[in-house]
Structure 1
Amino acid sequence: MAHLGSGRRRALAVPVGLALTASLAFLPSVAASAAPLGNTADSATASKPDTTGPKLSYVANLTTYGTVKQAKKAVERAGGTVVTSYEQIGVVVAHSQNPEFAKQLRTQRGLFVSVGATRTAPLQTVQTTEEGTTQQLSAADAAKATAQAQEGQEPLEPNQWDLRTIKADQAHKINDGSRNVTVGVIDTGIDDTHPDLAANFSKEQSANCVGGVADTTEGAWRPYADGSDHGTHVAGTIAAPRNGEGVSGVAPGVKVAAIKVSEPGTSLFFTEAVVCGFMFAAEKGIEVTNNSYYVDPWLFNCKTDDDQKALVEAIGRASKYAERKGVLNVASAGNSNQDLAADSLTDNTSPDDATPVPRTIDPKVCLDLPTQLPGVVTVSATGDKGFRSYYSSYGLGVVDVAAPGGDKWQIPATPDANGRVLSTIPGGGYGYKQGTSMAAPHVAGVAALLKSAHPEATPSQIQAMLKGQATKTACPEQIYDRTGTLINATTCASKWGQTGYYGYGVVDALKAVQ
């Protein structure tokens, strides 16, 4: 999970080198005793609101009967300004310097279901949870791979052990995917000028959603000059074309779009940007989204907290809306090596935009977003030997499927013997990363192949096919830990035809096209 996935990013890349409301029709109804819409906060905001605090961003989620027009008036009375609004899902994004802004809006129970700040402090650069930096492919290793490439392979494909793991190389002999299918990479941006991405890039379905408003001007979707290569790497795994150059994607015949949601100078993904990302994908006819990150500043968002509850609600509405519009959302499980089905977990990293305060959480109440949202395909990572990657989070009944994410301790017999995932990076190069961030795009690619073969299939049907066609994988006896030591795999639970490490199994690209 950019964060990138907790490695997802921070991207959920470990680079080396609820039941949420399905629609407004099901939002909580207004209690008979509630005050009239738009009037409940009059007494609380009679005096001029304080505007001396830090400028923060907020999401305000409307009730069934609340309107954006009413919300705008309430926001202004509380000392805020509306940045954007989504009438389709009843979500308003606002800015305010009033420290009591959210509290004042929450008093209007007839208008708002929940209101919360999307961050805890003015933005600052933070440490990422990636394990090291991207390892660029050397000229010598590229030459080794090219020398061993067989007829029909891309020059660097011999180093793509991950494609062979999910039988994507065999799938390509049958079908590369349809140009009518687009995968939206909600991430740090994509370098669409890369020669191994340009042919499959969809500018018409790309944007910069940072701040909550989609910017579709030329190049707005590209990574920042000093930014992360994460989104470009993810894009190559999904849809690098078979063009006689570099690598191949899992679905080299489909299109890929960039929806940039990371803050400048960081790999932080805030709620307003992610909501924009899902809504943009929904309205632009994108069929699959890849989400290799978790939403900042909370690794887990607790529905018992007023602010965090609002973030869960807003993102949940947006992802569900996208699903209703035909979008299948795929997300990485995270790189924290945690059991997301446990009774309790320790969160030492939240909030990550200020000083973290360690806390114990219940992952059934405190959700990792977006991976734990209903309808989202949750993906764990494996290495070349088929073991769960040492960093990958897991959880029986939480993880849906698994895919190659790389593991530096599981070394394949490729020309360069690198256990990480090779893909595109900005500037026309190639590099290795590992993380659940790298696993999710393999699943997004297989989902794109399925959508290509079954254009009328709904997101839930595509998800069912992903699970049903996955290669069943039993709990292993041992796995590698973070130090490269083999340990007993005592944390792998199995039930209902699933395991906590692999869900329904490792995705299969060949079955997707047969």
Structure 2
Amino acid sequence: MESVTDDESPTSVGSNPSPTGTDPTRIDPGLEDADGVVDVIVRFETGGDGEAATNEATDASALQTASNQSQTSLEHVVETTDGLALEAQFWVANAALVTVDTDRVELGRLADVDGVAELHADDDVTLSRPAGESTDETTAAAATTSPTASAAGVGSANTYGLEQLSVPTVWDRYDARGEGATIAVLDTGVDATHPDLTVDEWRDFAGGSTTPTDYSAHGTHVAGSAVGGDSSGTHIGVAPEARLLAGAVLTDCNDEGCVGSTSDVIAGIEWAVDRDADVISLSLGSDGYSSTYVDAVRNAKASGTVVVGGAGNSGEGTSASPGNVYDAIGVGATDEYERVAGFSGGEVVDTDDAWGWRAPAAWPDSYVVPTVVAPGDRVYSSVPGDEYGYKRGTSMATPHVAGVIALLQGATDRTLEPAEIREAVTETATKPAHEPDGADTRYGHGIVDAAAALEAAGSFATVEGTVTDAVTDTPVAGATVTLEGDDGSLAETTTDSDGRYELEGVTGDREYEIAVSATGYESTAKTAFVPGDERTTVDTSVAGDGEVEVVLEDAQFGDGIESASVEVGAAAGSGDRKGAYPASDDGNGVYTIEDVPSDRTYTLAASATGYVDDQREVAVKGDAKSTSEQLELSGDATLEATVADSVTGAPIENATVTVERADGSTFVVDGSTGADGGLETPVPGAGAEYTVTVDAAGYETGEEVVTASSGETVDADVSMVGDGEFVLELEDAQFGDGVTDATVEAAGERGTYAATHDGEGTYRVEQVPSRGAYDVDVTVAGYADESLSMGFDDGLAVDERVVLSGDATLSVAVDDEDGDALADASVAVEREDGDSFDAGTTASDGTLEVVVPGTGAAYTVVADADGYESGTETTESVGSEETTSVALTLSAVDDGLPAVGVVGTVVALFVALALVARARR
């Protein structure tokens, strides 16, 4: 046979046969001196037709059938032989417990039974103690009494043992705590009233108690390390959700320890296998090599149950059964610093020397004990009486490994075979960096790594990904990601600040529904196939569950603004706009922003060509899910209207300005023009054309067309025309005809307006604002100035007749040839154009002052008096404001003519002249 030191598993019971006939080697030397009644374990041959042990998974009932067939001959011999009593039969070991009265029957009688391989005593099984320990491996009665309690894990979330085995990682990463797995602890019993323990099934194999009882503190402590909870504030058990089968097999206890029998241990193993235990924890044993356990361990393994046993506490170079059976997982003990405890057993087992013919042929020539190591020095766990204490020994390490196996079996999606479990545990075990590679007698394969073993044992995968906003593609932190398998399995986590999530330990090679939910978002789900032993990336985008409706209006024209950019950004005040949610244009200035996460406050921003950008805070409440906002955008160009009188250029205040777009829409600018005639308003830019219309009292409507580009200031200079006019008829006061060449001006509050001459003395003052009073001045060369006050009381046109008097004087003196003054002489004045007027009669002194226009004209003065011939005198040119003397001497009428006739002729002439003058008026 070839020596091996790894976890190689034999595939069948070998062909190394047991001795036949009466060879004394079939009887344990321990029975040589047996006297009186003794308990004997009868082991039957395995292999061949009666094979009862195999390493292939086998139905326990099949093994039981094979065992029953093997033991039929024994049953017959016992029934027919006095001094023999069949106490128990064990299919799991293909053995029977027989009471033999050696005074009545020889042991050889049993050895001769067909199929019997060996007889040996029902040896004592004890709880071995580390050297120097006085009682039951106990070093502290309660956690609070230990000076190094904190170092051992008390006060922490977990004991150092759990941390050393990476158990919390398994809990967190795989959400595996042993649910679905069953651990059988065969020990001194258990205190089922302890708050950290729940006993699912109980059996007392020696003491007879029908209720869970601990005959020492040992069983409760061991069970706590396997399945205990955290009532103390510290997690003590590896697989707290596993089922616990508690069996009392060591019940004879005192201060020196506890003792039981091999047959009770075998009975306990069979009981556990019958109840489909996934793992049996045996913190007990005997130094040396007890062959009875070989078939028991192998058949338990063949039935799907892993047997874990302590390597013993007698130090290096030793080991104990059943922990040193090759098919068992033997466990050594480490301390909190990952050092192997000095008491921990370990050796290289030489198969032939140790087991001889009892070893299955498939076993290697040699192998190393322990298989693995686990925390076993100063282990904190439960003790009876709702208390906690410290114990040390490979007994404490064993339940830790059993708990890890329960984690593996419970977490995987199928039942793992014992060989798979052994491989996963040993291949992933680790040693401190300074230790040599390969299995050795101190560490075995190394310290068990629960997380790594679980990865190796199952088809696990990691599902990772990023949850992002469906619109902004920004990460969504705090989202809940749930994986639900088709078998109902669930895994859940939340995304980090980068929106990332990672779910480790997911059972692979199956399809999952991956659901994502987050506050303010619509929940979503997708399915994905997750291959085993791989990392699968499943990214998910989620849409916000809120909506914002925005009505965008022109602040000036009041109508809706289309083709604008409207969006809500990240939470207001965050300092970082992590993406934005854009709106869709519904027309007429209505915009809808969908998929916005609710229960948040955002910055709502709007921009449009030709307008000033605007923004405000808007809250999308979680209960309402939607909100409406109205924004008014002001134009980004400035229109400055300047209104002035078209004649005088004076600014017009209090004018009203209206702005009209090319599409016909208008708005009236707030306020009116100031004292400077100015008024400004924002208008949309972008090259738009506007008609600026101005209305002011007393004026016709003014208008100007301008074009405004984005961001510029455009001037609209509007000249306004007054809506009124004055019509003045200027008449010569002496001659009665119209006065030409006059200057007529109307002065009002906005300046002076000059008249135009239409001809024949008619003057028009146009474009005069029809409000207020005016001072109208009339000036003509040769005439006295005239001033009058005019206004528009009714109507927009006012007519006025103005008679102008000349500013020159003719001083006329009329006398006769004798030089005597002629009173009552009639005087007429004639212009060069032939027009004349009757100036009146002379006074008693023969004089007459006559007013005439001082236009530089020459006047002909005609005088008539009764009895005298008419006299005429023509002046030189008469200037403005001049007084010109005119002397006329009249000659008496010639005696040959009737006096009356002459006088009558003169009078008739003056009458005719007067009539002509009136007619010209």
Instruction: Please say whether Structure 1 and Structure 2 have the same fold, judged by a TM-score greater than 0.5.
Output: yes
> Residues 214-233 of structure 1: matches in 2 within 5 Å?
218-219=210-211, 221-224=212-215, 228-233=216-221
1:252 equivalent in alignment to 2:240:
yes
CA deviations on 1:433-480 (whole Å, 9 max, x unpaired) are 01111111111111111111223210110110001221233565xxxx
CA deviations on 1:104-153 (whole Å, 9 max, x unpaired) are 23541534111122148xx9x999667134211254769986xx99xxxx
Distance 1:210 1:457, change over 3 A: same
1:84 equivalent in alignment to 2:25:
no
1:287 equivalent in alignment to 2:278:
yes
**DSSP-derived class of the 2:369 partner:** coil
1:457 equivalent in alignment to 2:416:
yes
| Structure 1 contact 75–105 (Cα < 8 Å) conserved | no
Match of 1:403 in 2: 374
Distance 1:300 1:138, change over 3 A: closer
- For 2:36 and 2:171, the matched residues in 1 are separated by 53
Residue from 372, 380, 395 that aligns with 2:324: 372
How far off its partner does 1:263 sit?
A: 3.6
Residue from 251, 258, 262 that aligns with 1:267: 258
| Structure 1 contact 105–112 (Cα < 8 Å) conserved | no
Match of 1:195 in 2: 195
| Structure 1 contact 327–459 (Cα < 8 Å) conserved | yes
> Residues 346-385 of structure 1: matches in 2 within 5 Å?
368-385=320-337
- For 2:339 and 2:146, the matched residues in 1 are separated by 25
Distance 1:142 1:171, change over 3 A: farther
| Structure 1 contact 183–287 (Cα < 8 Å) conserved | yes
Match of 1:59 in 2: 41
- For 1:510 and 1:71, the matched residues in 2 are separated by 48
**DSSP-derived class of the 2:323 partner:** coil
| Structure 1 contact 176–252 (Cα < 8 Å) conserved | no
How far off its partner does 1:21 sit?
A: 11
> Residues 98-497 of structure 1: matches in 2 within 5 Å?
98=102, 103-108=107-112, 110-119=114-123, 131-133=133-135, 134=138, 135-139=140-144, 156-158=155-157, 160-174=159-173, 175-198=175-198, 201-203=199-201, 206-210=202-206, 218-219=210-211, 221-224=212-215, 228-242=216-230, 245=233, 247-265=235-253, 267-295=258-286, 299-301=287-289, 312=291, 314-340=292-318, 368-396=320-348, 397-406=368-377, 420-454=378-412, 455-473=414-432, 497=438
How far off its partner does 1:68 sit?
A: 3.0
- For 1:285 and 1:181, the matched residues in 2 are separated by 9
**DSSP-derived class of the 2:259 partner:** coil
Distance 1:500 1:97, change over 3 A: same
CA deviations on 1:212-263 (whole Å, 9 max, x unpaired) are xxx7x731x4223xxx211110111111124575543112221222121114
**Percent identical:** 27
- Greater shift, 316-325 or 158-167, is seen at 158-167
Bigger relative contact order, structure 1 or 2 (CA pairs below 8 A, ≥6 apart): 1
- For 1:325 and 1:98, the matched residues in 2 are separated by 36
- For 1:380 and 1:67, the matched residues in 2 are separated by 36
**DSSP-derived class of the 2:252 partner:** coil
**DSSP-derived class of the 1:499 partner:** coil
How far off its partner does 1:321 sit?
A: 1.3
- For 1:316 and 1:101, the matched residues in 2 are separated by 28
- For 1:138 and 1:439, the matched residues in 2 are separated by 18
- Greater shift, 257-266 or 386-395, is seen at 257-266
One-letter code of the match for 1:427?
G
| Structure 1 contact 179–254 (Cα < 8 Å) conserved | yes
- Greater shift, 283-292 or 500-509, is seen at 500-509
Distance 1:508 1:210, change over 3 A: same
Residue from 451, 461, 467 that aligns with 1:510: 451
| Structure 1 contact 22–317 (Cα < 8 Å) conserved | no
| Structure 2 contact 181–243 (Cα < 8 Å) conserved | yes
Match of 1:352 in 2: none
**DSSP-derived class of the 1:264 partner:** strand
One-letter code of the match for 1:435?
G
- For 1:395 and 1:267, the matched residues in 2 are separated by 25
How far off its partner does 1:88 sit?
A: 5.9
Match of 1:416 in 2: none
| Structure 2 contact 158–234 (Cα < 8 Å) conserved | no
CA deviations on 1:313-350 (whole Å, 9 max, x unpaired) are x321122111111101111111101324xxxxxxxxxx
Distance 1:143 1:70, change over 3 A: closer
One-letter code of the match for 2:422?
Q
TM-score (norm 1): 0.67
Query: What value does the CA root-mean-square deviation take over the aligned residues?
Result: 3.6
- For 2:394 and 2:223, the matched residues in 1 are separated by 14
- For 1:61 and 1:156, the matched residues in 2 are separated by 50
- Greater shift, 283-292 or 85-94, is seen at 85-94
Distance 1:269 1:27, change over 3 A: farther
- For 1:108 and 1:53, the matched residues in 2 are separated by 20
Show structure 2 runs of 5+ residues with no match: 1-8, 23-33, 51-68, 349-367, 455-504, 506-921
Q: Which structure has the larger Rg over C-alpha atoms?
A: 2
| Structure 2 contact 376–395 (Cα < 8 Å) conserved | yes
One-letter code of the match for 2:270?
M
| Structure 1 contact 105–115 (Cα < 8 Å) conserved | no
**DSSP-derived class of the 2:427 partner:** helix
Show structure 1 runs of 5+ residues with no match: 1-18, 36-51, 302-310, 341-366, 407-419, 477-493
One-letter code of the match for 2:315?
N
| Structure 1 contact 30–110 (Cα < 8 Å) conserved | no
Distance 1:237 1:180, change over 3 A: same
Distance 1:401 1:99, change over 3 A: farther
How far off its partner does 1:285 sit?
A: 0.6
Distance 1:79 1:184, change over 3 A: same
- For 2:448 and 2:336, the matched residues in 1 are separated by 14
One-letter code of the match for 1:250?
V
One-letter code of the match for 1:194?
H
How far off its partner does 1:430 sit?
A: 0.3
- Greater shift, 100-109 or 258-267, is seen at 100-109
TM-score (norm 2): 0.39
Distance 1:21 1:102, change over 3 A: farther
| Structure 1 contact 72–81 (Cα < 8 Å) conserved | no
- For 1:438 and 1:246, the matched residues in 2 are separated by 17
More helix, by proportion:
1
Distance 1:127 1:178, change over 3 A: closer
**DSSP-derived class of the 1:207 partner:** strand
One-letter code of the match for 1:93?
L
- For 1:126 and 1:460, the matched residues in 2 are separated by 28
Distance 1:165 1:128, change over 3 A: closer
- Total equivalences in the alignment: 387
